[in-house]
Amino acid sequence: MNILIIEDESRIAKRIERMTRDILGNAIQSLRHINTLQEAMEFLENNPLDLVLLDLNLNGENGFDMLKSAVSESFHTIIISAYKDQAITAFEYGVLDFVPKPFNIERLEQAFERVTSQEKTDASSIKFLAVKKRGNIQLVPVEDILYIKGAGAYTELYLMNGNKELHDKSLEKLEQLLSPTFERIHKSYLVKMSEVKEIIVKSGSKYEVELNSGEFLPIGRTRYKEIKSKWV
Amino acid sequence: MNFRLRQLFHYISLIFLMISCAKAPVFKKYETVYKIGDQQTWASKDWDDKDWKKGDPILDDGRVFWLRTPIDILQDPERPNPYGIRLEIYGEYEVFWDGILIGKNGNPGLEATRAPEGKIWATFIIPEHQARKGEHLLAIRGSLYYFPDHTGIWSLNLDYYDNLLTDSLIQNSYMHVFAGAFLIISLYFLFLFLNNKKEYPTLIFSICCFLIFALALTVFSTDYIPIHYSVHVIRLQIISSFLLGISFLIPLYFSMQFPYPRQRLLLILYAAVLVFIFLFRHDAFDFKAVGMVLSMWCFSFCVVTYGAYNHIKGARLVLATLLLSMIIFLTFGFVISLYAGLGLILLGMLYLVALRIKDQRLAYENSLVQSTRLQLELLKKNIQPHFLMNTLTSLIDWVEESPKKGVLFIEALAKEFDLVNQMENHTLIPVNQEIELCKTHLEIMEYRKEINYVWEDEGIDSSEKIPPGILHTLLENGITHSLPQDDNIIMFKLCYDANNEFRRYTFLTFAKENSKKEPIEGTGIKYVKARLEESYQSKWSFTSEATDSGWKNEIIIYY
């Protein structure tokens, strides 16, 4: 795993670093600490990462711009912050976890658990998906998304209005963030369950969902039972 | 305000009522003729006075002269009330009605040898049988030793004797009530001023009220203070002086409430005009009074109009009272308008005073709220999550990793809390206490950030006081927005210098700038400015700017 810690309090950064090493051990490929936003932004653009641990209040600057670009990337973001009141907003932007300061190793371990076990977030508190568009970052409201299709390392967001947006996160990572509003009906599809009109059984044990928009999407054979039970 | 206007309206209506109720006179007076000399038969009604002269004689010594005035009585007196005659005459004299002596006021012709006797206003009863409807003759045998150019009958009224006495008493008692009201207002505002000696408008208002009280008392005290004609000029001089004071102070008060450019110069010019009128012809008292009061009205009108033009609170109402007083002057003449008008203008001034008192109360309440807010702001510094949670997280780490250092960290934290608690209730604290707080804060931040923070100060005057938490706030900003230099050091330096005009604190940060952006005015800077405003009102300045080596804050406090 490639991990980046963005934290301007040196002592706390060291603490996070030490605990991360203790928890993840050999799973760590690289672990880096940066204490300014500017440097962090540059680093994000040029280095592949799996996880970012971000303090929202760096050197008196608002970390939400940083947060927006972090969550638009392919990796998961965990916030470690003194401001508990920002947790809700952070979750709306699509962070995997919010660790309030002061924290101990158990709480940090719990956060890493979500990354490694691909555990799903309990509440569907996410409201936006940040997508990169012509150099800018745009927030796409989750309620506007119909379904998501996996396309290699990327994903395609199919919107209610017929538009399509690209997202850097993998389908697995988005499933973690968007559950239970969205269900993985197929290895390549994540569908908003409220948009499913009907489940159709076809000959040759083929299953499909019909969406309210009139589109048909395949259901994976192994997932049919689970989907059927959730839909009813 | 409606209530006030209604009161004014009632007041004006009352004056109208008083005027309209005045009765038609019961007599008609013809021209007075005079002759110098003394002959008892000149008192006779039938004496042929065709060769007597008209006008007023000038007597260069205490010689006796006679005045003859034909008077028609237009209706018979109703029994049992006799008619009387009220005279205002300079000199000592005897009064003859149709040849019969009806009264004596002093000793005509003997003034040089005897002490002054008699009074300038006197009322004489006319025997009933001699006051029938028809032609009559008033003859005066008098002498004028002290003001030889003041001969003549200055005023004459003929009415029922009782009415002559009671009418002026009633009028005077009303005016005494009027004067008494102004005395009370004057004393009230004097006490207000004594409690707050900075409020000069309150003092001026108090003096104005007192002068109006004194003026009314001097003018309307003739019924119970007998004045010999030889000293009457003193009374007139006193009245003129009161009017001079009033005429200057009212526009001065308005000038303070409604400021305008070149105020001092215009006020000096105005004072010069007043003094000129006051000194112009020592004996033209009526001219002086009208001149000064009209000048006062014109100058006040200009000042208040300028205030109303600039939309200053209260100016319109005062303008209305000024216009109303002018209407009264044009309708009823000088004497009535003087008191009614002054009353109105003073009401306007009172309204302004009330407005100012209200503003002051609001400002005071605001300052209380502001002080409490700043006090909370100071207390909040140590419990706001960014400071507290980051400190606690670092602290846990130190305790876990190096308990001994952890203890030192806790001690530094305890010291900072203690220092803030000590200063929380004060608006000014010794500068050394603030420096102590800064140093303790740096100690804590060293444990957190693992950066070497260096504190230096230079030229500090330990007897000086500053508002609590302002250097601490600048220090916090410096820590937050700076990155250490290559040797992992951030240095802060506080310099103090003072001269006759100001005291100056220069607070320098030597560090790498974190971001090149101009920082927006955060809550920290707002706190610093609010504290400076609280303690030094507008006598301070604060600047904050980037330098080549870091950051520079400058606080200047003017004397």
Q: What is the pLDDT of residues B418-448, one digit of tens each?
A: 999 999 889 999 999 999 999 999 999 999 9
pLDDT at B522 over 80: no
B101 CB-near residues (< 8 Å, 6+ apart): B43, B94, B95
* Partner B contacted by A14 (CB < 8 A): yes
* Partner B contacted by A10 (CB < 8 A): yes
B477 and A9 within 8 Å at the Cβ level: the answer is no
pTM beyond 0.90: no
Give the gap in angstroms from C-alpha B513 to the nearest C-alpha of chain A: 11
How far apart, in whole angstroms, are the C-alpha atoms of residue A92 and residue B181?
A: 72
Comparing A105-114, B186-195, B281-290, B384-393, which segment has the lowest mean pLDDT? B281-290
Give the gap in angstroms from C-alpha B427 to the nearest C-alpha of chain A: 27
B451 and A10 within 8 Å at the Cβ level: the answer is yes
Around Cβ A89, how many Cβ atoms within 10 Å?
17
From chain A, pick out residues whose CB is under 8 angstroms from the CB of B514: 36, 59
Contact A40, A59 (CB under 8 A): no
Residues B192 and B254 in one domain: yes
Interval B7-28 mean pLDDT: 61
Secondary structure (3-state) at B88: strand
A36 and B483 within 8 Å at the Cβ level: the answer is yes
Give the gap in angstroms from C-alpha B371 to the nearest C-alpha of chain A: 26
Secondary structure (3-state) at B135: strand
- Name the domain boundary from B151, B186, B214: B151
Which of B514, B521, B544 is the best mutation test for A, with the most CBs of A within 10 A? Answer: B514
Give the gap in angstroms from C-alpha B417 to the nearest C-alpha of chain A: 19
Interval B210-226 mean pLDDT: 89
Q: Answer whether residue B140 is part of any domain.
A: yes
A15 and B393 within 8 Å at the Cβ level: the answer is yes
What pLDDT is attached to residue B25? 84
Query: Which of B389, B397, B480 has its CB closest to that of A11?
Result: B397
- Name the domain boundary from B151, B184, B216: B151
pLDDT at B194 over 80: yes
Comparing A120-134, B64-78, B88-102, B322-336, which segment has the lowest mean pLDDT? A120-134
What pLDDT is attached to residue A65? 78
Q: What is the pLDDT of residues B232-270, one digit of tens each?
A: 888 888 999 999 999 999 999 999 989 999 999 999 999
| Chain A residue with the nearest C-alpha to that of B397 | A15
* Bond preceding residue B80 cis, omega within 30 of 0: yes
Q: What is the pLDDT of residues B454-463, one digit of tens each?
A: 999 999 999 9
A9 and B480 within 8 Å at the Cβ level: the answer is no
Comparing A6-10, B57-61, B209-213, which segment has the lowest mean pLDDT? B57-61
Comparing A22-26, B373-377, B463-467, which segment has the lowest mean pLDDT? B373-377
Q: What is the pLDDT of residues B160-177, one digit of tens each?
A: 999 988 988 898 899 999
From chain A, pick out residues whose CB is under 8 angstroms from the CB of B481: 59-60
What pLDDT is attached to residue B14? 56
Domain A2-116, second-level architecture: 3-Layer(aba) Sandwich (3.40)
Q: What is the mean pLDDT of chain A?
A: 86
Q: Answer whether residue B130 is part of any domain.
A: yes
Q: What is the pLDDT of residues A111-139, one digit of tens each?
A: 998 888 766 665 567 888 888 888 788 88
pLDDT band at B284; cut points 50, 70, 90: confident
Q: How many contacts does A have with B, using Cβ atoms within 8 A? A: 64
Contact B137, B126 (CB under 8 A): no
Q: Answer whether residue B51 is part of any domain.
A: yes
Residues B180 and B127 in one domain: no
| Chain A residue with the nearest C-alpha to that of B383 | A82
Identify which has the larger pLDDT, B439 or A208: B439
What pLDDT is attached to residue B5? 46
Give the gap in angstroms from C-alpha B451 to the nearest C-alpha of chain A: 8
Q: Domain boundaries in chain A?
A: 2-116, 128-231
Residues B355 and B418 in one domain: no
How far apart, in whole angstroms, are the C-alpha atoms of residue A16 and residue A37?
A: 18
Interval B282-303 mean pLDDT: 88
B448 and A11 within 8 Å at the Cβ level: the answer is yes
How far apart, in whole angstroms, are the C-alpha atoms of residue B43 and residue B100?
A: 7
Q: What is the pLDDT of residues A65-75, one digit of tens each?
A: 788 888 888 88
Query: Which of A59, A82, A104 has its CB closest to that of B480?
Result: A59
Q: Answer whether residue B18 is part of any domain.
A: no
pLDDT band at B184; cut points 50, 70, 90: very high
What pLDDT is attached to residue B140? 93
Identify which has the larger pLDDT, B441 or B367: B441
Residues B196 and B315 in one domain: yes
% of chain A residues with pLDDT over 90: 25
Q: Answer whether residue B127 is part of any domain.
A: yes
| Correct CATH for A128-231 of 2.40.50.180, 3.40.1160.10, 3.40.50.300, 2.40.50.1020 | 2.40.50.1020
* Partner B contacted by A101 (CB < 8 A): yes
* Partner B contacted by A61 (CB < 8 A): yes
ipTM greater than 0.85: no
What pLDDT is attached to residue B377? 86
B389 and A11 within 8 Å at the Cβ level: the answer is no
Query: Which of B397, B449, B477 has its CB closest to that of A15?
Result: B397
Contact A178, A172 (CB under 8 A): no
Contact B298, B283 (CB under 8 A): no
Domain of residue B472, CATH code: 3.30.565.10
Residues B206 and B89 in one domain: no
Q: What is the mean pLDDT of chain B?
A: 88
Parallel/antiparallel/unpaired status of strands A61-62 and A57-58: antiparallel
Contact B57, B65 (CB under 8 A): yes
**Number of separate domains in chain B:** 3
A84 and B398 within 8 Å at the Cβ level: the answer is no
Residues B336 and B418 in one domain: no
User: Can you spell out the DSSP letters for B136-177?
Assistant: EEEEEEEE-SS-TT--SEEEEEEEEHHHHHHHHHHHHHHHHH
What pLDDT is attached to residue B7? 54
pLDDT at B122 over 60: yes
pLDDT band at B229; cut points 50, 70, 90: confident
Comparing A15-19, B101-105, B401-405, B520-524, which segment has the lowest mean pLDDT? B520-524
Comparing A191-205, B237-251, B285-299, B540-554, which segment has the lowest mean pLDDT? A191-205
B393 and A12 within 8 Å at the Cβ level: the answer is yes
Q: Answer whether residue B17 is part of any domain.
A: no
pLDDT at B85 over 80: yes
Give the type of residue at B175.
Answer: M
Residues B407 and B505 in one domain: yes
A11 and B450 within 8 Å at the Cβ level: the answer is yes
Q: Answer whether residue B392 is part of any domain.
A: yes
From chain A, pick out residues whose CB is under 8 angstroms from the CB of B398: 11
From chain B, pick out residues whose CB is under 8 angstroms from the CB of A12: 390, 393-394, 397, 448
> Residue with structure tokens 């988005």?
A174
Around Cβ B67, how many Cβ atoms within 10 Å?
23
B481 and A59 within 8 Å at the Cβ level: the answer is yes
pLDDT at B1 over 50: no
pLDDT at B20 over 70: no
A61 and B515 within 8 Å at the Cβ level: the answer is yes
Comparing B22-31, B42-51, B463-472, which segment has the lowest mean pLDDT? B22-31
| Chain A residue with the nearest C-alpha to that of B523 | A60
Contact B491, B483 (CB under 8 A): no
Residues B193 and B241 in one domain: yes
Secondary structure (3-state) at B540: strand
What pLDDT is attached to residue A131? 86
Residues B329 and B467 in one domain: no
How far apart, in whole angstroms, are the C-alpha atoms of residue B103 and residue B450?
A: 112
Please give the residue range of the domain that contains residue B74: 31-151
Q: Which residues of B touch A (CB under 8 A)?
A: 385-386, 388-390, 392-398, 447-451, 477, 480-481, 483, 514-515, 519, 522
**Which two structure tokens, joined as six digits, stand for B228?**
């010999």
Residues B351 and B278 in one domain: yes
Three state DSSP letters for chain A? CEEEEECCCHHHHHHHHHHHHHHHHHHCCEEEEECCHHHHHHHHHHCCCCEEEECCEECCEECHHHHHHHHCCCCEEEEEECCHHHHHHHHHHCCCEEEECCCCHHHHHHHHHHHHCCCCCCCCCCCEEEEEECCEEEEEEHHHEEEEEEECCEEEEEECCCCEEEECCCHHHHHHHHCCCEEEEECCEEEEHHHEEEEEEECCCEEEEEECCCCEEEECHHHHHHHHHHHC
What pLDDT is attached to residue A121? 62
Q: Answer whether residue B11 is part of any domain.
A: no
Query: Which of B386, B396, B451 has its CB closest to that of A102?
Result: B396
| Chain B residue with the nearest C-alpha to that of A102 | B393
